[in-house]
Chain A
Amino acid sequence: MNIQSVKDLELIKKEYRLKLNLPDTVKVNIGMASCGIAAGARETFNTATETFADNDSIDICQTGCIGYCEAEPLVEILAKGKPRMMFKKVTSDKIVDIIHGYMANDFSDKKIKKHILGQIRDPRSLLEQDMANPQEQVDPIEGIPFLEDIPFFKGQVKIALRNCGYMDPDSIEEYFGKQGYIAFLDALHNAKPQEIITAVKESGLRGRGGGGFPTGIKWATCAKHDGQRSIICNADEGDPGAYMDRSILEGDPHSVIEGMLIAGLAIGSSLGFIYVRNEYPLAVKRLVTAIKQATAYGLLGDNIAGTKFCFKIKISTGAGAFVCGESTALMASLEGKVGRPKAKYVHTVEKGFRDQPTNLNNVETYANVPAIILKGAPWYASFGTDNSKGTKAFSLVGKVRNTGLLEVPMGIPLKDIVFSLGEGLPGKKKFKAVQTGGPSGGCIPEALMDTPVDYQQLASVGSIMGSGGMIVMDENTCMVDVARYFLDFLKDESCGQCNPCREGIKQSLDILTAICEGEGKEGDIELLEELGVMIQRFSLCGLGTAAPNPVLTTIKYFREEYESHIRDKKCKAGVCKNLFMYEIDEDACTGCTSCAKKCPQNAITGTKKEPHVLDQDKCIKCGICYDACKFDAIVIK
């Protein structure tokens, strides 16, 4: 069926709203994004489907990722007139009992109780405020917290991630049910291209891939240049520790397609390209399904909804090159060439892909666009700070209790993300720094954790917003090793065409490696700073100019760690193997033998209930004993 107007959409929307919110059956939503699957969601799904194959009153469905990755596999169960419940860590051996428990309204069994995450107060996204809260008439269960009140979810505002975890990413109808494609069809029939561009400009939306360039201005400039214009979606999410784009593509691919359609309409382009990382096979699969479905409904292709507007999308997969996240390199890669950046004397909005005007935005940027068009620019601009409007998705990972994907309004302090939503660090470990912006970003120390999430403010402390990776580091993270790690990454990923980047990174890495191996000498820190400034000033593309950031920020904020590596030959974090040793604290050791049992070298000996002894000659510093000891008796010296 070809959809012609918003009216056609409304009919399907009505039907699927009911199915999504007030189903006739018991609806079991299993989070099936990559992270859920890695935690065992596929087995959970299969067990549930097989067990209830003959039961028409139970509907087992897949959804994307709701973001609370720590508690995967996540399962939501709902039925008309009953509370919507979210369950955590539902492995295949638990799912059947949990479904039975939900149907019987009996959560007293301990086996079920410990898997309850919370009940949902209001499942509507910010775009669905035109309907009543489907849970309004339902009496909540006493003693079970609301999901919205759990620290990880409290304070989140979901715009880009609005549908992730609440719908089947393989169903375009469910996307219609979540207000999908209404913004596009409305704009197609009723808005002039200039009006769309103005709305995006006024919303204050800036590039979410890391650059932070105002999206509306980019669209306007591209639209000004004549030629065969292209709309490219950058889904080459290369920053290690960042997976917002993967989650959106796996959880809500249509929002990106709709955003690209609106961009095509505004800029006057009929050619769309999505460049996805090869490492994201599930994202590619879901995009292919989404494009086929949109084409079947006539939302992609020729003469969309009976108008003159035509738009097609092609998916290209990358082949593992970080530098292809840079716009000119990405375009070269799309042309089937090696991804080497070009100097931007002429901007890609004028001459980019195939030497024609090209508009390139990131996945999250496009996912925001339908919401802006539907709810209006002032609504979007009401979130955030003066120069950073709206919300931003982050992946909170590393040494933090609640790892996962979250979306918060711009302007909230970093410490709120790490300590309120993330609930701080697990165990008794002490916080050291948070790394933002991937290999191009910097490490922010505890003293600066009041810094708000804002493009300018993050830049002022030497880091960048980046695409949204946020890696929490504790006392067992060595900052010199972190700098070495990022430069090692960048050395491999530098395309090699300009000297400052290719040679500068290599030289800096050699110095850092020497420091980590205990060969550091006086003057190394100053030399690293000098090299850093040179690389920043003279590299050709963004990869090079940002490459020294991890080194320069760690020197700026953790200089004493560098000094203790160089002067005292000590790595207090216990990472650089030549610079520390494990010892057993006799007073703390209870003689539980768990370290001795696990030591692969048999370096630890001792009698039960007596303090153990570690043979330094045999120790390979693998750290297994350190992780195994429950009494903090293995210490780093």
Chain B
Amino acid sequence: MSNANTQPTGGEEEIDYLELDQMIEKEFNNDKENLIMILQAIQRRYNYIPRPALSYVSEKLSIPYSRIYEVSTFYSTFSLEPRGRNIISICTGTACHVRGADRIKEHIETSLNIRDGGTTEDKRYTLESVRCIGCCSLGPVVKINEDMHGRIATDEIKNVLNQYE
């Protein structure tokens, strides 16, 4: 592990190791039990989990890299690939499903030319289907970043998506 504070990773993302180190110590008490929350914090900071950050956490907490990799791939909220500027989460819970979430999903897939889990080439959007965000009465629901769009219809999608640069 480099001692430098920052290190380029694949030319795109620079990781602030000093910040990462302090976060693990101060917010999470260097505690292995907090691994999932540490990974969540990294994802909040970088929008995904850069692999060098995984290595750093592994050394810092003395957890084998294999186990950290296992955790970061087991749980569905973690992404090891860079994601778009706007995360479109389409709820595919049962209530949304019976109210036509699949149609909404297909419509977004076709209009953005990406598949579930994919990111548009211009990095503007990432499409992720999620299992129930608990707003079942407003189904079908699409969440873009932190904004909920309830009772959405296929013909409204274009206007909604255009609000996000």
* Interchain nearest-CB distance for A250 vs B (Å): 9
- A336 adjacent to B33 (CB under 8 Å): yes
Residues of chain B within 8 A (CB-CB) of A321 are 74-76
- For B137, the chain A residues whose CB sits under 8 A away are 35, 69-70, 72, 395, 397, 403-404
B80 contacts A by Cβ under 8 Å: no
Verify if B35 is at the interface (C-beta below 8 Å from A).
Answer: yes
Measured CA separation A339–B70 after assembly (Å): 11
Q: Are A338 and B71 interface neighbours, CB within 8 A? A: yes
Chain B 126-156 residues near chain A, CB threshold 8 A: 130-139, 141, 146, 148-150, 153-155
A241 touches B136 (CB 8 A): yes
Query: How far, in angstroms, from A237 to B133 measured CA to CA in the complex?
Result: 10
A308 to B75, CA, bound (A): 40
Please determine whether B95 and A471 come into contact, CB atoms closer than 8 angstroms: yes
Known A240-B95, A338-B71, A338-B74; judge A316-B37 contact (CB<8 A): yes
User: Which residues 264-303 of A sit at the B interface, judged by CB distance below 8 A?
Assistant: 278-281
Whether A240 contacts B155 by the Cβ 8 Å rule is no
Partner of A338, one of B32, B70, B99, B155: B70
Q: How long is the Cα–Cα vector from A317 to B41 in the complex, in angstroms?
A: 11
Task: Give the docked Cα–Cα distance between A438 and B97 (Å).
Answer: 13
**Residue of chain B at shortest CB distance from A273:** B33
CB interface residues, A 386-409, toward B, < 8 Å: 395, 397-399, 403-404
B126: min CB distance to chain A, Å: 15
Residues of B within 8 A of A281 (CB): 146
Say yes or no: is A462 at the interface (Cβ < 8 Å to chain B): no
Residue pair B141, A279 in contact (C-beta under 8 Å): no
A11 on interface, CB distance cutoff 8 Å: no
Judging by beta carbons under 8 Å apart, are A316 and B36 in contact? yes
Known contacts A243-B135, A317-B40, A319-B75; A623 and B148 CB within 8 A of each other: no
User: Closest CB of chain A to B130's CB: distance in Å?
Assistant: 7
Please give, as numbers and ranges, the residues of chain A lying within 8 Å of B107 by CB-CB distance.
622
A586 contacts which chain B residues (CB < 8 A)? Answer: none
Residues of A within 8 A of B74 (CB): 321, 338-339, 495
Query: A37: which B residues are within 8 A, CB to CB?
Result: 148
Cα-based distance from A307 to B32 in the complex (angstroms): 32
Nearest A residue to B155 by beta-carbon distance? A598
By CB atoms of chain A within 10 A, which of B37, B70, B133 has the most?
B133
- Contact across chains for B134 and A279 when beta carbons are under 8 A apart: yes
| Least CB distance, A85 to chain B, in whole angstroms | 22
A485 at the interface (CB under 8 A from B): yes
B13-38 residues at the A interface, CB under 8 angstroms = 31-37
- Complex contact B76–A320 (CB within 8 A): yes
Q: Does A333 contact B (CB under 8 A)?
A: yes
Structural contact, A34 and B134, CB atoms closer than 8 A: yes
Checking B31, B95, B134, B149 against A246 with a beta-carbon cut-off of 8 angstroms, the contacting residue is B134
B94 adjacent to A435 (CB under 8 Å): yes
A485→B99 CA distance, assembly (Å): 13
Q: Are A397 and B36 in contact (CB under 8 A)?
A: no
Q: Which of B40, B77, B92 has the most CB of A within 10 A?
A: B77
- Give A336 to B30 CA distance when docked, in angstroms: 12
Tell me whether B161 is interfacial, beta carbon within 8 Å: no
Question: Are A395 and B136 within 8 A (Cβ)?
Answer: yes
| Interchain CB contact under 8 A, A477 and B98 | yes
Q: Which residues of B lie under 8 Å from residue A280 when comparing CB positions?
A: 134
Closest chain A CB from B150 CB (angstroms): 5
- With a CB–CB cut-off of 8 A, which chain B residues contact A438? 94
Q: Evaluate contact between B99 and A279: CB separation under 8 angstroms.
A: no
Chain B's nearest CB lies how many Å from the CB of A285?
A: 12
Q: Are B131 and A335 in contact (CB under 8 A)?
A: no
CA distance A403 to B94 in the complex (A): 14
Given A35, A320, A492, which contacts B77 in the complex, CB threshold below 8 Å? A320
User: Cβ of A241 and Cβ of B148 under 8 Å apart?
Assistant: no
Q: Which residues of A contact B141 (CB under 8 A)?
A: 38
B39 interface residue per 8 A CB criterion: yes
Instruction: State whether the Cβ of A161 lies closer than 8 Å to any Cβ in chain B.
Output: no
Contact A398 B71 (CB under 8 A): no
CA distance A317 to B31 in the complex (A): 15
Is B124 an interface residue, CB under 8 A from the partner?
no
Closest to B147 in A: A38
Q: CB-CB < 8 A to B134: which residues of A? A: 34-35, 237, 242-243, 246, 279-280
Query: Once the chains bind, are A622 and B97 in contact (CB under 8 Å)?
Result: no
B-contacting residues of A (Cβ < 8 Å)? 34-35, 37-39, 69-70, 72, 237-243, 246, 278-281, 316-322, 333-339, 395, 397-399, 403-404, 435, 438, 469, 471, 473, 477, 482, 485-486, 489, 492-493, 495, 598, 600, 622-624, 627
Residues of B whose CB lies within 8 Å of any CB of A are: 31-37, 39-40, 67, 70-71, 74-78, 92-95, 97-100, 103, 106-107, 130-139, 141, 146, 148-150, 153-155
Please list the 6 inter-chain residue pairs (A to B) with the smallest Cβ-Cβ separation, ordered nearest first. A69-B137, A240-B93, A319-B75, A38-B148, A336-B35, A243-B134
A-B contact pairs, 7 of them (CB 8 A): A35-B150, A278-B40, A316-B34, A320-B130, A398-B94, A403-B95, A486-B94
